[in-house]
Amino acid sequence: MLSIIIPSYRRRDTLVRVLDAYGRQRPADIDFEVLVVDDGSDDGTAEMLAARRSDRFVLRFARQENAGPAKARNRALAMARGDIVLFTGDDIEPTPDLLAQHLEGHRLLADVHAAVLGLTCWHPQAETTATMRHIDGPGAQQFSYHFFKDGTEYDFRHLYTSNVSLYRELLDREPEAFSTDFPAAAFEDAELGFRLARHGLRIVYRASAVAYHHHHYEAPGFFARQRRCGAMGAILYRQRPELRGYLDLEILENLATHLAVNGLPAVTSQQLEQWEGEALRLANFYDPLPFSATDRLLAPLFRYAYLRGLSEALYAPHLAVGMGAGLYDHLLRPAIDDFVKTLKHQGLPVVRPA
């Protein structure tokens, strides 16, 4: 039996689409349940779940005060009855054979330590922005599928809870499950993956286990998301300092040393926000357009956002602002200058902040 675990927050309409798609899973003899934990939504999610019925699967749900996806997944895991658990999301629509592909993956691997990682991609009919193509493409800030090969094994960092299945027997070796120290969706899955790796976790990519991601992103929204990721990265660093090498901390430590020797720059947080606005306006203007050079701006923009969030969580506010100015000079200013030169060379408009 399969247990499908879905934490949900304020995505009622998308969740309806997701549940409808689980009702179309084939073949018909696959036995599965769907467990949804409503993480304090105020959009009618709880009422929809209470009224919903399915002839195809058992649907069970619970509701909690808003506490983040880690706690919601743990709540659902405590309710789950399946031998295999599939972690996914309320904006992840399964293709009709998703569950069959996961089960076949486990059959072929025949290893209780193996996780089957499926492909999460934008829906074929989605109107993608440059940001969406970048973060799932060469930028890989959301997923690294762009670089994956089917059937290859990947490390704990790729326990993507958008589309990954594991044996319950392996999960039970870490009874804490997801650490609830993480209030937002970032690094909480990798941290569990790190602990499970000590019990032999293998993550094997199965490209045929496809699910569609319904989440429209433009540059400002993903910039904010990356800033939250930085804050979650600080939590991971405090919990697991041995993982510092994965967190891009060296650039911050070098900046902190530089500022200790040379003093803080005369920059306010308001000025820093204005500078960030210049890059965001440029990126947002070109987001809807098929302009490949936008990648050269988005990569440093989103790295900057992550490092800003990380520095704000690790350092005092006045020092974090100084570090932000240093990050801007090191990462964003050259990228903006290069992007503007490219625009001018091609006779394209340059959008400046108001």
pLDDT tens digits along 305-329: 999 999 999 999 999 999 999 999 9
What value does the mean pLDDT of the chain take? 96
Last residue in a domain, options 181, 197, 213:
213
Domain-embedded: residue 68 = yes
**CB 300, CB 329: distance < 8 Å:** no
Residue 354 lies inside a defined structural domain of this protein: no
pLDDT reading at 87 higher than 90? yes
Domain endpoint, select from 157, 192, 213: 213
Among 213, 232, 248, residue at a domain's last position: 213
Instruction: Assess whether 201 and 231 both reside in one domain.
Output: no
* Domain enclosing residue 117, as ranges: 2-213
> 245 and 178, same structural domain?
no
Mean pLDDT of 5-19: 97
In a domain, 353, yes or no: no
Beta strands at 58-64 and 32-39: parallel, antiparallel or unpaired: parallel
Question: Band of the pLDDT at 292, cuts 50, 70, 90?
Answer: confident
pLDDT per position as a tens digit, 212-250: 999 999 999 999 999 999 999 999 999 999 999 999 999
At 80 the pLDDT is 97
Cα separation, 256 vs 267, whole angstroms = 15
pLDDT above 90: residue 136: yes
- Is position 150 within any domain? yes
**CATH number of the domain that 197 lies in?**
3.90.550.10
What's the Cα-to-Cα distance from 275 to each of 121, 280, 325, 341, 352, rounded to whole Å? 32, 9, 9, 18, 10
Cα–Cα dist 289/237, whole Å: 37
In DSSP notation, 124-172 reads TT----HHHHHHTTTS-SS--GGG--TT-EE-GGG--TTEEEEEHHHHT
Are 194 and 224 contained in the same domain?
no
Residues 202 and 235 reside in one and the same domain: no
Query: Has residue 351 got a pLDDT over 90?
Result: no
Note the pLDDT of residue 353: 54
* Percent of the chain residues past pLDDT 70, beyond the cut: 99
Shared domain for 63 and 187, answered yes or no, is yes
The yes-or-no verdict on residue 354 having pLDDT over 60 is: no
Residue 23 and residue 13: Cα distance in Å, rounded? 16
Same domain, 99 and 242: no
Is 102 a residue whose pLDDT tops 50?
yes
Do 48 and 117 lie in a common domain? yes
Q: Are residues 209 and 286 in the same domain?
A: no
User: Residue 278: pLDDT above 70?
Assistant: yes
Q: Are 169 and 201 in contact (CB under 8 A)?
A: no
Region 245-269: what's the mean pLDDT? 93
Per-residue pLDDT band at 290 (split at 50, 70, 90): confident
Q: How many domains does the chain have?
A: 2
Q: Is residue 131 included in any domain, yes or no?
A: yes
Q: In 3-state terms, what secondary structure has residue 221?
A: helix
Q: Does residue 151 surpass a pLDDT of 50?
A: yes
